[in-house]
A and B are shown apart, each in its own frame.
Chain A
Amino acid sequence: MAEKPILCPDKRPVLTLQETLRKPSRFRLYLWRGNPPGIIPEALALITALVMFIPILYVMVRGFQGGWERWLTLLDTRIPQLLWNTLSLTAVVSFGALVIGVGAAWLVTRTDLPGRRTWAWLLALPLVIPPYVGAISYIIVFGPQGLARNILGYSPVDIYSFGGVALVMTLFTYPYVYLITSAALKRFNLNYEEAGRIAGLSYPQVFWKIILPLLRPAMGAGFLLVSLYTLADFGLVSMLRYTTFTTAIYFQTGSFDRQAAAVLSVVLILITLVILWLEYRTRRKQKFFQTAGAYREAEPFSLGRWRPAGLGALGIIASAALVLPLSVLTYWSYYGIARGALDSRFLEYAYHSLLTAGIAAAACAVLALPLVYLKSRHPSFLSSFYEKLALAGYALPGVIIALGMVFIFNNYIPALYGTAAVLVFAYIIRFLPQAMQAESSSLNQVSPHLDEAGRSLGYPPWQVITRLILPLIRPGILAGAALVFVNAVKELPATLILRPPGMDTLAVRIWIEASEGFYDLAAPASLLIILISALPLKWLINRF
């Protein structure tokens, strides 16, 4: 292979004999629509994609291995109740989040509410509070031995009921709907609403007949995103003693092997796939454009005497989702730190969290690159396929991924079983899609012509990536790594299942201590996690 490209007198590169011989086969050209990627990026992408997908495949295989009897028993006994519990919670929370999210988004983007700019990011802030931490703070206030009982003599909210669970879950997932719909509302073209006003509609009618229908794709996407999060959640529902598929799989109280867990996992995977498919369909519809004619920003709707009501509503949301948890946790942290909660053990737990999350983040940043690059620069059935395989971990609950890891490593790679490596792998599988999304949005802003220029100058494909593209998409890589890091630090169920003995992380400690009522020990760690989660917040908000 030539060190430098040999150039003709007019500077066109000349293919050497070897390069000619290495021309891709016709089949390969066909697969890649005439634009095959380099061998190295493709190999990396393929290996990564397969490794991401295998655990889930194994869980499903194991689920079907048990035989029909197992399935029938479970279908008779546990599955109906679990289905009801899980689906009813998901539906109620998604609708609740929809109402709150759309309402808040409209108030903040389309009215003349005072302090709009502050409300805009304030209302998104509950995203930094992991749902199980939110649950802990609500138990502290409304639980049977909680603050409310001490002050009022009774608790206005039965936190361990369906209503309690739904309320807390809604409060910490509405920001997803809020962010998606407010981004959509901001892009609205005034023309349609003006047409409505000119035709004689009052503002409420404009809202219901024009704005909401146009918002439907965004609302649908937000609704389904909240559904996915609710389905996958483990920490909050287990803290509030509500049985769903995730807790049933984790606690496996019904059997002595993990066979039942595998069966339940299959059901949960199927439900998740249905929701993912629905989300895919709504996302396609989101591509209808509103740029007919000139684009003008809408005039804010004047609230008039409804202003206090609007402020009040937003105030209630912010108090419930932000002020309450943060103040409760701060109080208990102060109390806990005074009693020595920040000892060497705490530092050890923090170290375990940061180590595993850090390694996972670095690995994801690297591994996402070939997949993302292939999807963007060499679009074809194959690159889409690799991408879909790798996205397997995106919506699947941590319990199922952990179960897959247990099955595979325990049976086939025993040397690594019981080590932190398995945990890090689980993080990578679960959060690689986050890095992929971040890097791909960055990559999509870099024109493919740059790549072609690099190729024409004689660089092999992998060098085009490393020397040209990498420096340009650095923000995306960093954002992806940050997202993976934060998510790994917050992660609970997979960590509970896979952690080696003695290697508890902050999240695990919070859960154990809160389960036994030691809020003074759980609170400082919770605040630390919230602080860490706040780091990539700006990027998260902008993503929507």
Chain B
Amino acid sequence: MISSKWLKRGLLTVFVVIAAVLPFAAGGCAPDDGGEGELVVYNARSETFVKPLLEQFESETGIRVRVLSGREELVNQIEEEKNNVRADIFISNDAGAMEYLRRQGLLEPNDSPTLDKIDQRFRAGDGSWVGLSARSRVLIYNKDLISEEEMPKTLKELADPAWDGQFMITRGGNSSMVTHVAALQEAWGDEETRAFLSSLSENAGAITGGHTDIRRAVGAGEYPIGLVNNYYYHLQLEEDRHNNVGAIYPDQGEGEIGAFVNVAGVALISEGPNEENARAFIDWILEDEQQYQFSYHSKETPLNPDIPAPEGAKPIDQYRAMDINLADLGQHWPGARELIQESGLDLGI
């Protein structure tokens, strides 16, 4: 018969062993070598827009999708993990971020024929990232406070003292803002852009964390004007109240630079644990129905002209866009943040 002394010793040893080993066993809950049917997605887009799509992918293919949601810091994380890649797909709101990753050698070329559905301007040369929806920078305004004629028609007008305290912008670190600045650097050069940003940040009535605050505040009449992405205008129109808003696309006049069009899309991360599933995901999301869904919830315009734009969204061929190749912005993107900081516009949180 086992004496109680040894029983207790045995139990104690078992307990200590378990306590020591459990943290490692917990690692087993999240296997890092990927399984057969897994896909790891780093998502920098608002979860509401992305979750339905990912769940649909999961139910259609049976591949388990594991999502890590975040913001711009995911780019840093992907870079940090380059020797030990954890992610397969990066969903981004920002061509600048994806192009930056490509230039760092962190993305995998993709020659799948499905990418041809998207115009060359809006994807990487080697297919490693592809845009799915267009997001233009517009000026949203409250129709009760200001009329369309009175509105400033160009971005540079915002730096004018006449508009002091009349408009809202986001913090400098917001990804849309950063890429916009990179585009302005391409169009105007560094000096002019820095000066413009300086005046802009001094002139701004409010600097917020994100665009949702801007659209809501302009809708509610706190400020007459806000610099946002076009779909925020459409989202505000759909609200129950405070929806008497309009939007103008700036710099549309003859000889002016045009409105900046950024894209949201997906990037294929190099050496990810589930490359096959990742490529399958990209092919899947480029299918017409999925492209529509990608843009639909967020009221963006699909880049594929064959896909119907959500009601109220201006199709991409109906306004003047800045004449630049998004891929070219990649070179400016690292410096854009420094420029923003130098100009005095806080990167913020």
Chain A contact residues, CB within 8 Å of chain B: 77-78, 81, 144-145, 238, 241-243, 247-248, 250-258, 355-356, 359-360, 362-363, 365-366, 406, 410-411, 414-425, 428, 466, 496, 499-503, 512, 516-518
A410-B349 contact in complex given A251-B73, A252-B73, C-beta closer than 8 Å: no
A418 touches B217 (CB 8 A): no
List of 7 A-B pairs having minimum Cβ-Cβ separation, nearest first: A502-B66, A419-B27, A253-B173, A500-B30, A421-B27, A501-B68, A501-B66
Q: Bound state CA distance, A144 and B70, in angstroms?
A: 24
Indicate whether B298 reaches chain A with its CB closer than 8 angstroms. Answer: no
Contact: A418 with B30, CB < 8 Å? yes
A-B contact pairs, 24 of them (CB 8 A): A238-B349, A241-B208, A241-B348, A243-B349, A251-B173, A251-B349, A252-B76, A253-B72, A256-B334, A257-B79, A410-B80, A410-B84, A416-B24, A417-B84, A419-B26, A419-B27, A421-B24, A421-B26, A424-B23, A501-B30, A502-B30, A502-B64, A502-B66, A502-B68
| Complex interface: chain B residues within 8 A of A517 (CB) | 212
A-side contacts of B307, CB under 8 Å:
none
B51-86 CB contacts (< 8 Å) to partner A: 64-73, 75-76, 79-81, 83-84, 86
B81 cross-chain contacts in A, Cβ below 8 A = 410, 417-418
B174 to chain A, nearest CB (A): 9
In the docked arrangement, what's the CA distance between A145 and B212, Å? 11
Output the least CB separation between A261 and chain B (Å). 8
CA distance A355 to B29 in the complex (A): 10
Q: Which residues of A contact B347 (CB under 8 A)?
A: 253-254
- Give A419 to B68 CA distance when docked, in angstroms: 13
What number of residue pairs across chains A and B have CB atoms under 8 A from each other? 147
Is the beta-carbon distance between B23 and A418 smaller than 8 angstroms? no
* B84 x A254 contact (CB < 8 A): no
Residue of A nearest to B16 (CB): A366
- B67–A251 CB distance below 8 A: no
Q: Answer yes or no: B346 CB below 8 A from chain A CBs.
A: yes
Given that A77-B341, A252-B76, A355-B29 are known contacts, is A421 also in contact with B23, CB under 8 Å in the complex? yes
Q: Contacts A411-B83, A418-B86 given: A356-B209 contact, CB under 8 Å?
A: no
Max chain A C-beta neighbours (<10 A), residue from B20, B337, B347: B347
Q: Are B337 and A502 in contact, with the CB atoms below 8 A?
A: no
Q: Contact check, B76 vs A420: say whether CB atoms are below 8 A apart.
A: no
- Report if B283 contacts A (CB, 8 A): no
Q: Are B30 and A503 in contact (CB under 8 A)?
A: yes
B233 within 8 A of A: no
Complex Cα distance, B29 from A241, in Å, reads 34
Chain B residues numbered 7-48 whose CB sits less than 8 Å from any CB in chain A: 12, 16, 19-20, 22-24, 26-32, 40-42, 46-48
Report which of A256, A410, A419 forms a contact with B75, defined as CB distance below 8 A.
A256
Contact of A419 among B20, B32, B42, B69 (CB under 8 A): B32
- Chain A residues contacting B348 (CB-CB under 8 Å) are 241, 243, 253
Residues of A within 8 A of B31 (CB): 419
Counting CB contacts under 8 A, is B87 at the interface? yes
Assess the A512–B47 pair: CB atoms within 8 A: yes
Are B27 and A501 within 8 A (Cβ)? no
7 further contact pairs, Cβ within 8 A, besides A238-B349, A411-B83, A415-B32: A144-B216, A243-B348, A253-B73, A366-B19, A410-B83, A466-B12, A500-B32
CA A242 – CA B41 in complex, angstroms?
Answer: 29
Name the B residues within 8 Å of A355 (CB-CB): 26, 29
Q: Residues of B contacting A243 with CB < 8 Å?
A: 346, 348-349
A502 to B39, CA, bound (A): 10
Whether A501 lies near B341 (C-beta < 8 A) is no
A241 touches B349 (CB 8 A): yes
* B222 CB within 8 Å of chain A: yes
CA distance A262 to B213 in the complex (A): 31
- Measured in the bound complex, the distance between the Cα atoms of B48 and A352 in whole Å is 21
Contact B86 A417 (CB under 8 A): yes
- Report if B220 contacts A (CB, 8 A): yes
Q: Tell me the smallest distance from the CB of B305 to a CB of chain A, in Å.
A: 31
B80 x A418 contact (CB < 8 A): no
Cα(A218)–Cα(B273), bound, Å: 55
Interface residue from A248, A414, A419, A428 paired with B30 (Cβ < 8 Å): A419
Question: Quick one: given A420-B26, A421-B26, A424-B26, are A257 and B80 in contact (CB under 8 Å)?
Answer: yes
